[in-house]
Amino acid sequence: MPKPVRVFFGIVIFVGGGLFVAAGALILANLDLSKLSHPVGAVVMLLLLSALGLVIAYVGVRLVVMKNDDSLLKRTKSAA
Residue 17: exposed, middle, or buried by beta-carbon count in 10 A (0-12, 13-18, 19+)? buried
Residue 51's pLDDT is 94
What's the distance, Cα to Cα, between the start and end of the chain in Å?
Answer: 21
User: 30-39, pLDDT tens digit by residue?
Assistant: 988 888 888 8
Task: Break the chain into its structural domains and give their ranges.
Answer: 3-70
Residue 67's pLDDT is 78
pTM across the whole model = 0.77
**Residue with more model confidence, 71 or 28:** 28
User: 2-29, pLDDT tens digit by residue?
Assistant: 888 889 999 999 999 999 999 999 998 8
Residue 33's pLDDT is 82
